Structure 1
Amino acid sequence: MTTFKEAQRSRSKPVARSSVSRKFGKTVSKGDALLENHLNALKIPFTKEYRFHPERRWLADFRIDDMPILVEVEGGVFSNGRHTRGEGYTKDCEKYSAAAVNGWFVIRGTTAQIKEGLVIQWIEKLIERLRGG
């Protein structure tokens, strides 16, 4: 039996440590699951894995419905994950800049920031601001 550390060393890409099982074999990160719970608790309507660009196949982790708000959960920030390595970081810069150019507000947060309640606070503040509050 292969241990987690052995599997991690033998693969070219990092192994996701924190995932929550979903139906049909899909997995969702702990950060995604927790943010989904926060949004549901506050009755903020959202769409998961929203394709926001008319030409590219980019997906945002969350879109706040009826608002120009995208939310990205940045995982692997302390484990050399895709979002923090050179090529992945560069591609993320292109994706987030394209979203901004197309009129989207992009809120980015780590799993730790979601756990602290910061990301949901940012979402609430931006919704309030966009509604003129």
Structure 2
Amino acid sequence: MTTVKGIKSAVDLFLAKEAKRKPRDRVPAAQRARSEHEAAFELQLRAERLDYAQEYRFCERMWRFDFAFPAQKVAVEIEGGIWTNGRHSRGNGMESDMRKYNRAASLGWIVLRGSPAMVQSLELLNATKDVLLERRGDDAGKVYLDGEARAVVQDELNKAGRAIIDSLRERQSAPPSNGAGNNRKEI
């Protein structure tokens, strides 16, 4: 027969073992339960009928975003434990986050970071909607180019622009065909 004292000692033993667990024994972030703030933000996104992905892996590393809008390359990270010396406010955790966010930026992502208070006040939701609208613009089919493709497109636009200007200058320097004076302005 199990006694209350026996149950108490089993719970105490379990808690003592749990406190001694090494970080590598802990559940990976991708398998960890969501925080209440992530759950609240998810409800807010659903209420707004926004199409999002959770725990979205955005690059070759195992880094994931809490929430992502891949088509617009917009991500949302909810930084918990900022007032309790949690992972996001200690040196190693902050450096790891910086590496992650820098990699995301190099791939063209906008990463919005928010605190639990920003989730509760709807500030993070409003910021997310603003950025999504800006990224979508009037044309939802907008294309975002990486550095090399952007340079090629810019070069082609410059060539086309120069060709148009040269064509206008040639027309301007040609004598008027109807004999009237030249009223054209210099470009």
Question: Quick one: distance in 2 between partners of 1:76 and 1:12?
Answer: 20
Is this contact kept in 1: 2:72–2:136, CA < 8 A?
no
Structure 2 counterpart of 1:21: none
Report the residue type matching 2:107 in the other structure: N
| 1:63 equivalent in alignment to 2:79 | no
Structure 2 counterpart of 1:91: 96
Question: Quick one: distance in 2 between partners of 1:120 and 1:103?
Answer: 21
Structure 1 gaps of 5+ residues are: 14-24
Question: Quick one: distance in 1 between partners of 2:36 and 2:42?
Answer: 10
SS of corresponding position for 2:112: strand
Structure 1 counterpart of 2:109: 104
Is this contact kept in 1: 2:74–2:109, CA < 8 A?
yes
Structure number with the higher strand fraction is 1
Structure 1 counterpart of 2:58: 52
Question: Quick one: distance in 1 between partners of 2:21 and 2:128?
Answer: 35
Aligned Cα root-mean-square deviation (Å): 2.2
Greater relative CO, 1 or 2 (CA 8 Å, sep 6+):
1
* CA radius of gyration, larger in: 2
Structure 2 gaps of 5+ residues are: 1-7, 23-30, 139-187
Deviations 1:86-120 (A, max 9, x none): 00000000000100010000000011100010000
Report deviation, 1:65: 4.4
Deviations 1:33-70 (A, max 9, x none): 011000000000000000001x2110110112421101
Report deviation, 1:31: 1.1
Structure 2 counterpart of 1:114: 119
Structure 2 counterpart of 1:37: 43
Residues 47 and 76 from structure 1, CA distance in 2 versus in 1: closer, same or farther, beyond 3 angstroms? same
Is this contact kept in 2: 1:45–1:65, CA < 8 A?
no
Query: When the two structures are aligned, how many residues end up with a matched partner?
Result: 117
Residues 121 and 11 from structure 1, CA distance in 2 versus in 1: closer, same or farther, beyond 3 angstroms? farther
TM-score between both structures, scaled by the size of structure 1:
0.79
Q: Percent identity?
A: 35
Structure number with the higher helix fraction is 2
Residues 100 and 26 from structure 1, CA distance in 2 versus in 1: closer, same or farther, beyond 3 angstroms? closer
